């Protein structure tokens, strides 16, 4: 996983595609939110945000 992140960062730095970073971070955040709400007691509180 660390090698993938280093390669992704090198790609973004080399090709000047820093605009990809916020998109990737938002996708990771939504993915983590989905995993956390899958069967948790926190799910009703997170659903109220949307």
Say how many C-beta atoms besides its own lie within 10 A of residue 12's C-beta. Answer: 15
Q: What is the pLDDT along the chain (50 residues), one digit of tens a residue?
A: 889 989 988 998 999 988 989 999 999 998 888 887 776 676 777 777 76
| pLDDT score, position 26 | 94
| pLDDT score, position 40 | 67
Of the candidates 35, 34, 32, 8, the residue with the CA atom closest to the CA atom of residue 20: 8
| pLDDT score, position 24 | 92
Instruction: For the full predicted model, state whether its pTM sits above 0.85.
Output: no
| pLDDT score, position 27 | 93
């Amino acid at each position: 996983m660390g090698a993938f992140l280093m390669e992704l960062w090198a790609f973004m730095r080399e090709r000047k595609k820093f605009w990809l970073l916020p998109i990737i971070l938002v996708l990771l955040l939504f993915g983590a939110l989905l995993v956390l709400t899958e069967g948790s007691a926190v799910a009703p509180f997170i659903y109220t945000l949307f």
